[in-house]
């Protein structure tokens, strides 16, 4: 019974963080674009006269989506049309189940010691689970585009599907060097291994060991989340909104939220694989141990909370970077996008894999 309560508690925390984070991100995105384009941004929605820098806008948006008329175009498929937003939204939420977001909480003494790892499910094929689940969102895009019976939507859906397929190959290949080095695919073990030190002072983070893979993975992740400069499936200036053009009300809201949750998940996967996950450099199980200094002892639960916050800060920084890229770069042309995916990223990822394999063999 306690197990079940713990699992439900973790799910509640994750769901709260993801939905709250996604709603907050819609506000960040608008305010950030406003700041970068020298505008004011959203500032009107108020509760009893308090506007709080436009922070009530996500709430107003949510209410609007709930009470807005939900239209289905005349020739749209009656069954697939409502299912597509679910398929786009749900994989992003599920992928987070295997991401570790902190160390282990310890309660009680030895005989009935209660250990709570801050991760929903530590699958030994964790990263494969993420890739598998993330592939489902392709169905959301292409079914949404096809079932709308709209030329723009169909084109956006086709573009989205072939873009996501193309970059998935390089995404898997570029992450493979990480599995080779840490000898596991379990995200919890990868996170643990990144707490080690090289030569006693360099943290064994993925970005230190696999800098090329970091760049490749990051590019592939931006393409997978369909963000600028890879936002061709929804390019608003040519396809209006692409695959979700005909959606309105809460169904559009699900596509929208799904996209922001995908950004958070992408940021947290990059953090987990390359930026040391929840690890803080020199913070071991006993406390802070900076080389050459005395141990600064800390309790295990305090450390777990610190690690949780470190994960949050790293993920937020990655998400902010992805958002900033959005307002900095122009959009690719479609042939350029395909060329980058197949002719640049793919050979580079294979080269990185081979170099890693040879170096691993020589150094061990």
User: How many angstroms separate the CA atoms of 356 and 360, rounded?
Assistant: 6
Residue 85 near residue 140, CB atoms below 8 Å: yes
* 71 belongs to the binding site for other proteins (CB under 8 A): yes
Q: Which residues between 333 and 362 bind other proteins (CB under 8 A)?
A: 334-335, 338-339, 342-343, 346-347, 350, 353-354, 357-358, 360-361
Q: Which stretch binds other proteins (CB under 8 A): 50-58, 74-82, 268-276, 290-298?
A: 74-82
- For tokens 């436009």, the residue is 54
**114 burial via Cβ count (<10 Å: 0-12, 13-18, 19+):** exposed
Residue from 166, 235, 268, 352 touching other proteins (CB under 8 A): that is 166
Query: Which C-beta is closer to other proteins: that of 66 or that of 329?
Result: 66
Residue 182 near residue 193, CB atoms below 8 Å: yes
| H or E segment to which residue 359 belongs | helix 346-363
Q: Which residues between 226 and 245 bind other proteins (CB under 8 A)?
A: 240, 245
CB of 208 vs other proteins, minimal distance in Å: 19
Binding residue count for other proteins, defined by CB under 8 A: 84
User: How many angstroms separate the CA atoms of 168 and 267, rounded?
Assistant: 16
CB of 66 vs other proteins, minimal distance in Å: 5
User: How many angstroms separate the CA atoms of 312 and 305, rounded?
Assistant: 11
Residue from 55, 158, 288, 312 touching other proteins (CB under 8 A): that is 158
Query: Which C-beta is closer to other proteins: that of 123 or that of 306?
Result: 123
Q: Which residues between 90 and 149 bind other proteins (CB under 8 A)?
A: 90, 93-94, 96-98, 120-124, 128-129, 146, 148-149
- Please state the φ and ψ torsions of residue 287, each to the nearest 5 degrees: 155, -165
* 8 belongs to the binding site for other proteins (CB under 8 A): yes
Q: Which residues between 243 and 302 bind other proteins (CB under 8 A)?
A: 245-246, 249-251, 253-254
- Strands (E) across the chain are located at 104-107, 114-117, 197-198, 202-203, 287-288, 296-297
CB of 113 vs other proteins, minimal distance in Å: 18
* 22 belongs to the binding site for other proteins (CB under 8 A): no
CA 145, chain centre distance (Å): 23
CB of 36 vs other proteins, minimal distance in Å: 28
């Amino acid at each position: 019974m306690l197990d079940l309560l713990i699992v439900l508690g973790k799910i509640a925390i994750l769901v709260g963080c993801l939905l709250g984070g996604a709603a907050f991100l819609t506000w960040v995105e608008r305010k950030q674009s406003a700041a970068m384009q020298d505008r004011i941004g959203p500032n009107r929605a108020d509760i009893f006269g308090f506007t709080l820098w436009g922070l009530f806008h996500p709430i107003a948006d949510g209410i609007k989506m709930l009470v807005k008329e939900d239209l289905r175009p005349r020739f749209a498929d009656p069954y697939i049309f409502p299912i597509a937003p679910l398929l786009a939204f749900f994989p992003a939420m599920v992928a987070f189940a295997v991401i570790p977001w902190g160390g282990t909480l310890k309660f009680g003494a030895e005989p009935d010691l209660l250990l709570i790892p801050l991760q929903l499910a530590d699958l030994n094929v964790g990263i494969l689970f993420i890739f598998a689940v993330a592939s489902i969102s392709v169905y959301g895009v292409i079914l949404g585009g096809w079932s709308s019976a709209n030329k723009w939507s169909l084109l956006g859906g086709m573009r989205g599907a072939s873009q996501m397929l193309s970059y998935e190959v390089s995404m898997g290949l570029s992450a493979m060097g990480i599995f080779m080095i840490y000898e596991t695919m379990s995200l919890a073990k990868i996170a643990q291994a990144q707490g080690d030190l090289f030569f006693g002072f360099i943290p064994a983070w993925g970005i230190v060991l696999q800098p090329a893979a970091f760049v490749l993975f990051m590019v592939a992740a931006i393409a997978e989340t369909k963000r600028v400069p890879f936002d061709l499936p929804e390019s608003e200036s040519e396809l209006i909104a692409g695959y979700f053009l005909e959606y309105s009300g809460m169904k559009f809201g699900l596509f929208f939220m799904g996209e922001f949750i995908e950004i958070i998940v992408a940021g947290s996967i990059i953090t987990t694989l390359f930026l040391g996950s929840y690890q803080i450099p020199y913070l071991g199980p006993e406390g802070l141990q900076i080389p050459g200094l005395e141990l600064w002892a800390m309790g295990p639960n305090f450390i777990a909370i610190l690690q949780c916050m470190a994960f949050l800060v790293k993920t937020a920084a990655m998400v902010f970077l992805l958002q900033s890229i959005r307002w900095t770069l122009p959009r690719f042309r479609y042939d350029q996008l395909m060329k980058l995916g197949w002719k640049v990223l793919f050979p580079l990822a294979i080269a990185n894999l081979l170099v890693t394999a040879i170096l691993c063999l020589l150094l061990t």
